[in-house]
Chain A
Amino acid sequence: MTQAEPHLLLIEDDPAVSRLVGIELRHAGFTVDQKETGRAGLAEAAQGSYDAVILDLTLPDIDGLEVCRALRALSDIPILMLTARGSLPERVEGLDAGADDYLVKPFAPAELVARLRALLRRTNQQGEHERAQAVLDVGELHVDTLRWEVSFQGQPLNLTRREFELLRCLALNQETVLTRDMLLERVWGFHYGGQSNIVDVYIGYLRQKLTAVGAPKLIETVRGVGYRLRAQDSQGASEAQAE
């Protein structure tokens, strides 16, 4: 992902949050414009050419959900919503209003970056859902989502249901870092309280099974962020640290 620097619009009224998020995003290689009100943000989004919008739910002038609906009416630009309210009905409401993803405060800056990358990637290439129907090939790893079969260099892997779903999710987003929370949401659903180390446990099992067929480093750990499935065995941790 190194064409032009992705251009982001951040609509957030709290200066401390805005500063922190801005710094983190610029560090990660994004260009960021910042607005403090829904009205200013909407006007800016309408004229500027942005790759994605990061939108806070509670704004001083217009409700974030309204801004989201208005934005969605204008274009299909990816929208990531930020909020301090994290209960499920509110999440659903946010996604119903047209947000593509939803992040609850407090969040780790790396989580935001990973989600943005995944969002941008999904819109640059085809939608995840379209590709979901196909057979997935990641290098020599072959994931048949219709027959629920996985093989590496022709050798079949015997996976449990959760292991398969986890690997499929990683394969769908190959070359993109997925955080533990993203994996929890996508593979397990929202309803597990706490215990995000369950992801690590399953990654461990997947790695064991991949090692057994000769692919020990297909799933890469990105420290402090999450996991990434690579077509080529990773060269080590050096690249991962760059995140």
Chain B
Amino acid sequence: MSTEAAPETAYREQRLGSLSRRLATQAGLATTGMVIGATLLVSIFTAVHQYTSVVASASSTAHFVLDTLGPGGPTGATQTTVFDDRLRTDPQVWIYRNGQVVLQSPNTGSRVPTGSHSGTSLAGPFPYVRVQVTRQNLSVVLDYPLAPALALIEDLILGVATIGLAAAVGGGAFGYVAARRMLKPVQSLTQAAMDLRRAPADARLPELSDPQDEIGRLGRVLNDLISDLDQQRQRDRMLLAEAAHQLRTPLQIVQGNAALLAEGGLSPAESQESLSAMQQALGGMTRLTNDLLTLESARTRRPEPQPLELGPWLEGLREDAQALAPELDVRVLAPSAQTVQVDTQILTRAFWAILENALHYTPPGGRVTLGASLLPDSVEVYVRDSGPGIDKDELPFVTERFFRGRHGKGKRGTGLGLPIAKALAESLDAELVLRSASGAGTTATIRLPRDA
């Protein structure tokens, strides 16, 4: 059992920890991503909105300037300072007459617009949106500053970065805490499983807070698995103990007689007696060993189905049974020419085990019937005998290994016949069904699934 037992330290924290850490990282990343995404979207909307409103303001301001000048254009007394109250900014204005600058606002300094008279410039220390409005020989060129709008967006981005960072930390922490909370039952399962490894005797995993949730279900399944394995182990242990026990008597016979022969001084007849006692004991041990191996192979061997014609198969078995038990009346009751797909070797071995049992227990003059019947989704092969039957209270136990009922006291055999039949039948996905009443004979049926 402990051939590859891992030391318990192999199960310690790091595995659990890594799962929490992973969940925390994921939660952090997810929150950050969401916050950044949302704020980026808001920033873009804001930027677009700002830009269009700046362009609109620039255009309306230029028109306002042109309207204020009137058709005559600027005079010496014309004031050139423009201040946009709405956006709290002061655009730079140039007034042209016939292509010549005749007046420019004081905030322009000596700057004169070059290049295109409309468009956007983000380069340089003074980012602006430029518009030009012309009426007859007068035009107004206006550079509307973008700085306030940009400042707003910058503030927004800074805010986003701060909030994002906070969200990442918060999300991560939340994720870590949530993961730890969620994994708490797993941790207790692990602890319980480790305890169980140390002291496996009928220990169980703890009831978890909610047996219906995913982890609770896992716990319940594991508990069922543990009790199944436990039962199996119990049965194996009993089988082993009983087998060893059954070997003691023949071993005693062999040992004792070998010692006698080694001492010498026995008469030839006595020697012969000792030898044949030893041979008989050895025969019994060989039978037991073979039966145990058959029982074991039923668990591991994979069936190889081939077509089997039930009629001739039962007839052959009948002939052998009749030959072995001439004092009984052995008959076959089977539908003619019915073929099933089954591992013939395994089925024959299983069937022979129940047939041997029937021959064994039916008193001389009794009848043993071998039969087959076809049902919609199964094929049954059975042995019915007119023997003493099995008492009701013993019926559930006769397929237990080494069980021997009241009628079997003193009979020979390893006590593994029916268990072998049962194990072999189960390896074929078939079922062994025993029907009996005390004094009314027994019917042992192997019920095979059809097309199996």
Interface residues of A (CB under 8 A from B): 86-89, 106, 160-162, 188-195, 197-198, 201-202, 205
Contacts of B282 in A (CB 8 A): 106
Q: Give the residue among A188, A191, A192, A193 with the most B Cβ atoms within 10 A.
A: A193
Q: List 5 A-B contacts (CB under 8 A).
A: A191-B345, A191-B349, A193-B353, A194-B291, A201-B323
Contacts of B324 in A (CB 8 A): 195, 197-198, 201
Contacts of B273 in A (CB 8 A): none
Contact of A86 among B290, B319, B320 (CB under 8 A): B290
Contact A193:B345 (CB < 8 A) given known A106-B286, A205-B323: no
Contact of B319 among A87, A162, A193, A195 (CB under 8 A): A162
Distance from B72 Cβ to chain A, minimum over Cβ atoms (Å): 117
Report the stretch among B90-98, B204-212, B293-301, B438-446 that lies at the interface. Answer: B293-301
Contacts of B286 in A (CB 8 A): 106
Contact of B320 among A87, A89, A162 (CB under 8 A): A162
A192 lies within 8 A of B352 (CB): yes
A87 to B292 alpha-carbon distance, docked (Å):
11
A205 to chain B: closest residue by CB: B323
Distance from A225 Cβ to chain B, minimum over Cβ atoms (Å): 13
B345 to chain A: closest residue by CB: A191
Contact A161:B290 (CB < 8 A) given known A106-B282, A191-B348: no
B344 touches A (CB below 8 Å): yes
Interface residues of B in 334-360 (CB under 8 A from A): 344-346, 348-349, 352-353, 356
A193 lies within 8 A of B349 (CB): yes
A-B contact count (CB 8 A): 56
Distance from B353 Cβ to chain A, minimum over Cβ atoms (Å): 6
Contact A194:B290 (CB < 8 A) given known A162-B319, A162-B320: yes
Contact A193:B294 (CB < 8 A) given known A88-B345, A89-B301, A106-B286: yes
Contacts of A161 in B (CB 8 A): 316, 319
A162 lies within 8 A of B316 (CB): yes
Contact of A193 among B301, B316, B344, B420 (CB under 8 A): B420
A198 to B359 alpha-carbon distance, docked (Å):
13
B233 touches A (CB below 8 Å): no
Contacts of B184 in A (CB 8 A): none
B49 touches A (CB below 8 Å): no
Distance from A67 Cβ to chain B, minimum over Cβ atoms (Å): 24
B302 to chain A: closest residue by CB: A89
B435 touches A (CB below 8 Å): no
B248 touches A (CB below 8 Å): no
B323 lies within 8 A of A193 (CB): no
Where chain B touches its partner, the secondary structure class is: helix
Contacts of B117 in A (CB 8 A): none
B135 touches A (CB below 8 Å): no
Contacts of B301 in A (CB 8 A): 87-89
Contacts of B316 in A (CB 8 A): 161-162
B344 lies within 8 A of A191 (CB): yes
A106 to chain B: closest residue by CB: B286
Contacts of B217 in A (CB 8 A): none
B325 to chain A: closest residue by CB: A201
Known: A87-B294, A89-B301, A191-B345. 4 other contacts (CB 8 A): A106-B286, A161-B316, A191-B349, A193-B291
A205 to B326 alpha-carbon distance, docked (Å):
11
A87 lies within 8 A of B297 (CB): yes
Contacts of B291 in A (CB 8 A): 193-194
B345 lies within 8 A of A189 (CB): yes
Distance from B241 Cβ to chain A, minimum over Cβ atoms (Å): 23
Contact of A198 among B297, B323, B353 (CB under 8 A): B323
B323 lies within 8 A of A202 (CB): yes
Contacts of B348 in A (CB 8 A): 189, 191-192
Contacts of B323 in A (CB 8 A): 162, 198, 201-202, 205
A87 to chain B: closest residue by CB: B297
A193 lies within 8 A of B352 (CB): yes
A211 to B352 alpha-carbon distance, docked (Å):
31
Contact A86:B345 (CB < 8 A) given known A106-B286, A193-B420: no
A87 to B356 alpha-carbon distance, docked (Å):
21
B12 touches A (CB below 8 Å): no
Distance from A75 Cβ to chain B, minimum over Cβ atoms (Å): 32
A104 to chain B: closest residue by CB: B290
Contacts of A190 in B (CB 8 A): 345
Distance from B136 Cβ to chain A, minimum over Cβ atoms (Å): 110
A194 lies within 8 A of B287 (CB): yes
A201 to chain B: closest residue by CB: B323
Distance from A90 Cβ to chain B, minimum over Cβ atoms (Å): 10
Contacts of A89 in B (CB 8 A): 301
Contacts of B420 in A (CB 8 A): 193
Distance from B200 Cβ to chain A, minimum over Cβ atoms (Å): 30
Contacts of A197 in B (CB 8 A): 324
Interface residues of B in 128-169 (CB under 8 A from A): none
B285 to chain A: closest residue by CB: A106
Contacts of B353 in A (CB 8 A): 193
B293 lies within 8 A of A195 (CB): no
Contacts of A189 in B (CB 8 A): 345, 348
B345 lies within 8 A of A195 (CB): no
Contacts of B320 in A (CB 8 A): 162, 188, 192, 198
Contacts of A162 in B (CB 8 A): 316, 319-320, 323
